[in-house]
Amino acid sequence: MIELIPAIDLIEGKCVRLTQGDYDSKKVYDENPLEVAKRFEDAGIRRLHVVDLDGARAGHIINYRTLEQLATRTSLTIDFGGGLKQDKDLEIAFECGAQMVTGGSIAVKNPDIFTAWINHFGSERIILGADAKAGKIAINGWEEKTTLELIPYIKDYQAKGIQKVICTDISRDGMLQGPAIELYQEIQTEVPDIQLIASGGVSSIEDIEHLAQANIPAVIFGKALYEGRITLNNLRPFIS
C-alpha cells in the first residue's frame, strides 16, 4: 500500500504553499500548523513532510520551534528539510524531534558534507531531495537549475548509501495537474532498490490511486488537501 505523506511548508511559522517554488506565489492556508498536523493524525496519517521555506532561503534552519511543536504534540513521524547546510542544522532538527531530514541543495553543492551525514547519522535518517526540471536537478528552492542528470545523480548517491529519495517534478509542483508517473516509473526501473517518494502535482484522489497502481512506494502531497480537492475522508482506503 502506498504511504501517504502530507506536507506542511512553513514561512514565519505559518502553513503555506508555493507554486513551482516561487516565493511570490505564497498562499497562507493556516496560521497554526499544529492544528493542521493534528487533523492529519486524527485521520490516521502517520507521516509528515515539513519544509522550512524560510530556512531554504536563508541557508540555515529557522522554523525549528514549529518543528518542535509538531514533534512533541503529535505522534507523527516527521521528515524535515529546508536550509540544512551544516552539522549544527541537523543536530537542531533532530533535537527538535525530526526522525529524518532531507538534503537537497547541500547534496549538490557540498557532496562531501552530505555523504558524511549519511555515514554519521545513518542512511535511515537521511533522505536525498532530488528535485528536477526537464530531467535536470534544481536547487536553492528551485531557483537554480544544474546540469546534473536526475537518474545518474540518484544512482551516485545510492552507491554512497542513500536508501530514500524524494523526487519532485518542479514543473508540476503546486500546479494540480497530476504527478509525473512516467518519470517515477523510469526511476523505479533504473534504480529499483531505492525507496522512492513521489512529490508534486497531486490534484485528486485518482492521482494517488494511479501512483499506487504504478507501485510507487510513497507520495507527498499538500495543495490538493488545502484546496479541498482531496479530503481526509477520501484517504481512508489508503490508511491501514
Show which residues are catalytic: 9, 131
Residue 207, classed as helix, strand or coil, is helix
The strand pairing partners of 101, in sequence order, are 80, 126
Phi, psi of 231 (to 5 degrees): -105, 160
Residue of 67, 60, 62, 50 whose CA lies nearest to 105: 60
Do β-strands 195-199 and 164-169 pair in parallel, antiparallel, or remain unpaired?
A: parallel
Residue 19, classed as helix, strand or coil, is strand
State the residue for C-alpha cell 507521516: 47
Residue of 115, 107, 55 whose CA lies nearest to 81: 55
Pair 23, 57: CB distance under 8 Å: yes
Cell of 42: 486524527
Which strand (E) or helix (H) includes residue 38? Answer: helix 33-42
Pair 162, 128: CB distance under 8 Å: yes
